[in-house]
Amino acid sequence: RGCGRVQSATEFDVAWAEAVGDDFAKQTRPGAPRRGVLTVLVANSTLLQELTFQERRILDLLRARLPQQKIDKLKFRIGPV
């Protein structure tokens, strides 16, 4: 059980870094998708706004890399990363 979750989390982290780039990945922390919504904590409001502009592109990349996750929407919040 635990090994599968760790592997899945690592796979998700890699996909997230590929979708947003290494610089943004260091300043964000995605949570677990719930009901098709992926909530992402971001370090500051400037980054939140930039990611909001890129939401469609990020979603497309995540869906291609992680089709089993069924992510329909991204929700960005400022919080501890």
pLDDT in tens, 25-45: 999 999 988 999 999 999 999
Nearest to 67 by CA among 79, 78, 59, 75: 59
Nearest to 77 by CA among 47, 24, 41, 44: 41
Going by pLDDT thresholds of 50, 70 and 90, the confidence category of residue 54 is: very high
Instruction: Write the single-letter amino acid at 49.
Output: Q
Residue 16 has pLDDT above 80, yes or no: yes
Average pLDDT along the chain: 90
Phi-psi region of 3 (alpha: psi -120 to 50; beta: other; left: phi over 0): alpha
% of the chain with per-residue pLDDT over 90: 78
